[in-house]
Amino acid sequence: MTEDSSPALEHCPAIRVMMMPRDTNAHGTIFGGVLLSYIDQAGAIEARKHTVHKYVTVAMNGVEFKEPVFVGDVLSFYTCLAKAGRTSMTIDVVVQAERFTNPRDVVTVTQATLVYVAVDNNGRPTPIGKLAE
């Protein structure tokens, strides 16, 4: 890596994907909404690791895109459980881009905090229960 902002050790890889031309905005760089969708998926994957429920996203906080992402860049989404509540889980997601032209050039694109709520079949919050070890 060409930078020192690797995800903290407790972050685990959740998703790794190459950006394609279909993912661009009108200016040819990657559309932020595509990243938000992957961030949401990565967080849900992390939540499911700890207890299996139906989860809905109640909040995505602090998403700030610090670097552009280009077609061909390989994005890695790293996640960790920040907090377990009664019915909710707060998950940190770190997104890094490995540049297509130089795989050793890795930049942190964004870091987000998401809150997922476990819901029952009526869509109402339900206790998350005991976390998996």
Which positions touch ligand COA (CB under 6 A)? 56-59, 85-88, 115, 117, 119, 123, 125
- The least CB distance from residue 128 to ligand COA, in Å, is 7
Nearer to ligand COA, 63 or 74 (CB): 63
- The least CB distance from residue 99 to ligand COA, in Å, is 31
Nearer to ligand COA, 66 or 124 (CB): 124
Contacts of residues 4-8 at CB distance under 8 Å and 24 or more positions apart, as own/partner, are: 5/108, 7/78, 7/94, 7/96, 8/80
Nearer to ligand COA, 75 or 128 (CB): 128
Residues counted in the chain:
133
Q: Which residues, including other chains, have CB under 8 Å from residue 119's CB and lie 6 or more apart?
A: 53, 54, 55, 56, 125, 126
- The least CB distance from residue 123 to ligand COA, in Å, is 6
Cα 20 to Cα 34: distance, rounded to the nearest angstrom: 11
Nearer to ligand COA, 12 or 60 (CB): 60
- The least CB distance from residue 18 to ligand COA, in Å, is 26
Cα 115 to Cα 56: distance, rounded to the nearest angstrom: 9
